[in-house]
Structure 1
Amino acid sequence: MEKLVKLVLVTILLLISTVSLPAIAQDKPDGAQIFSVHCAGCHINGGNIIRRGKNLQKKALKKYGMDSLAAVQSIVTNGKNNMSAYKDRLRVEEIQAVASYVLEQAEKGWR
C-alpha cells in the first residue's frame, strides 16, 4: 500500500510539473519571435511592403507619432488602415513584447 501511495504522489508531481512548464514559458513572450511570425511578412527588416514610407524605421515612427510603446501597442492591438488588428490573435503580453522589440530594433537601425 505504501508503494502505491508513493507511486501516486510521484505521478501527481510529474503531472503538475508538466502542466506548469508551458505556463511559465508563456509568462515572458519573445518579441523577436512574435515579430517573425506575425509581422515580418509585411515589415521585413523594419520596412513596409504595402506602403514604403510607413515603415518601422525610427524616423518614420517619429514622423507618424508611433515612437512610443503605447502608440505601437495601440496600432498592433487595433490596427489602422492596411495594418491588421492583432487583439484577437495575440495576448496583451505578446503585444507588449512585440512593441518593445519594434522600438528596440528602430533604435538599432534594424541591424
Structure 2
Amino acid sequence: MKRLKSFSILLAAIALMLTATVTLTAPAFAAASGASIFSAKCAQCHLGGKNIINPTKTLSLADLQANGKDTVSAIVAQITNGKAPMPAFKVLLKADEIEAVSTYVLEKAQAGW
C-alpha cells in the first residue's frame, strides 16, 4: 500500500512538471512558430517588414495603422483571406499557424522590425 502511494505521488509530480513545462514554454513556442512560418511563407515579399510588391503597404507599425491592420485579428483576416495582389493563405496554413504569424508580425512591427 505504501509503495502504491509513493508511485501515485511520483506520477502526480511528473504530471505537474509536464504541465508547468508546457504552460511556461507555450508562448516561446508560438513565437518561434510564427517566426518560422513568416520566414517560410511571407519573407519572399515581406523580408524585414518591407513589401516588394507595394512599398507603401509595409509591415511597419505606421503602415499597419494607416491601413487598419494594426491588430492581431486584422492581420489574421488579411492573411486568411488575402487581398490582391496578396493571396489568401487559408488553404496553405492552419488557423493556429495564421494566428502565430499574425502575432509575430504585430510584435515585430511594434518593435520596429
TM more than 0.5: yes
Quote the Cα distance in structure 1 between the aligned partners of 2:77 and 2:86: 11
Which residue in 2 is equivalent to 1:74? 77
Alignment of 1:3-22 (within 5 A): none
Which residue in 2 is equivalent to 1:99? 102
Q: Please, what TM-score do these two structures have when normalized by structure 2?
A: 0.72
Q: Does 1:31 align with 2:34?
A: yes
Question: Which structure has greater helix proportion?
Answer: 2
Quote the Cα distance in structure 1 between the aligned partners of 2:102 and 2:61: 13
Match of 1:47 among 43, 46, 50: 50
Quote the Cα distance in structure 1 between the aligned partners of 2:80 and 2:105: 14
Segments ≥4 residues shifted beyond 3 Å:
none
Helix, strand or coil at the partner of 2:54: coil
CA apart distance, 1:57: 0.2
Quote the Cα distance in structure 1 between the aligned partners of 2:69 and 2:93: 19
CA apart distance, 1:60: 0.1
Which residue in 2 is equivalent to 1:63? 66
Give ranges in structure 2 of 5+ residues lacking alignment: 1-28
Give ranges in structure 1 of 5+ residues lacking alignment: 1-27
Give me the CA root mean square deviation. 0.9
CA apart distance, 1:81: 1.3
